[in-house]
């Protein structure tokens, strides 16, 4: 409905006729598209679907906020980490029928924790070495949350994809700027600051939705 409203109003407010940013219909379309893909991926298991719909909502907020302000609010990324820690409870029963502790739950939590630390540690090292100049600590916390959700080794695959995608897009932006076809806004150079959170999020979705495993190349 918001997208149809935007089209019907031709991108302008009905009362004051001010221009409405394209950000709003694009975010609406992206959200609907992701929700549909999550339902397709999980095959209708509603508890898991709702869980990942919540994850998708958080990641869309984080991505848009980082693109606009180059910062990741703690409230959103900490909520993501908390959901990553609680994920096994959404997909495993805490107790077996006999009342004994479910070791599958412990295993799921353990692999999630390993994945979270494996993804966050390389970024943490880069953050320490660069004293925060290469990336922000918010990216480290985001990587921890995404790693908790994917576990090991899928989390590492998502991180590698994020670096590859970031390098490709960064080089394309720099090349586009050098062609002098970039008329509006600033041109990108090797010293330009490009948010990394969107690439981490994209790597996460590629691995989660399509089971992409780049580790087979190593």
| pLDDT tens string 100-155 | 456 777 888 888 899 999 999 999 999 999 998 889 999 999 999 999 999 989 99
DSSP annotation string for the chain: -HHHHHHHTTTB-TTT-PBPPTHHHHHHHHHHHHHHHHHHHHTT-HHHHHHHHHHHHHHHHHHHHHHHHS---HHHHHHHHHHHHHHHHHHS-SB-TTS-B-HHHHHHHHHHHHHHHHHHHHHHHHHHHHTTSSS-HHHHHHHHHHHHHH-TTHHHHHHHHHHHHHHHHHHHHHHHHHTT---SSPPP-TT----SHHHHHHHHHHHHHH---GGGG-
Residue 11 resides in a domain = no
Residue 12 maps to a domain: no
Residue 85 lies in a domain: yes
Residue 91: predicted pLDDT: 72
The total number of structural domains in the chain stands at 1
6 occurs within a structural domain: no
5 assigned to some structural domain: no
Q: Is position 177 within any domain?
A: yes
Question: In the predicted model, what is the mean pLDDT of residues 14-43?
Answer: 90
Task: Please give the pLDDT value at position 189.
Answer: 67
What domain range is 193 assigned to? 18-217
Q: Model confidence at 184, in pLDDT bands (50, 70, 90)? A: low
170 lies in a domain?
yes
* Residue 106 belongs to some domain of the structure: yes
């Amino acid at each position: 409905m918001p997208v149809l409203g935007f089209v019907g109003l031709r991108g302008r407010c009905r009362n004051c006729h001010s221009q409405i940013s394209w950000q709003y219909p694009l975010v609406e379309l992206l959200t609907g598209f992701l929700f549909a893909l999550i339902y397709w991926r999980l095959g209708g298991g509603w508890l898991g679907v709702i869980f990942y719909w919540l994850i998708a909502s958080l990641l869309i907020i984080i991505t848009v906020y980082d693109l606009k302000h180059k910062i990741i609010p703690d409230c959103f990324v900490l909520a993501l980490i908390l959901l990553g820690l609680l994920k096994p409870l959404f997909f495993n029963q805490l107790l077996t029928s006999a009342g004994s502790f479910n070791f599958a739950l412990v295993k799921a939590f353990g692999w999630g924790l390993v994945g979270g630390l494996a993804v966050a540690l390389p970024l943490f090292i880069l953050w320490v070495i660069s004293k925060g100049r290469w990336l922000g600590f918010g990216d480290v916390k985001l990587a921890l949350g995404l790693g908790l959700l994917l576990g090991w080794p899928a989390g590492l695959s998502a991180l590698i994809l994020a670096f590859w995608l970031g390098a490709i897009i960064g080089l394309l932006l720099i090349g586009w700027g050098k062609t002098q076809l970039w008329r509006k806004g600033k041109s990108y150079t090797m010293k330009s600051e490009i948010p990394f959170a969107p690439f981490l999020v994209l790597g996460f979705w590629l691995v989660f939705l399509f089971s992409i495993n780049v580790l087979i190349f190593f």
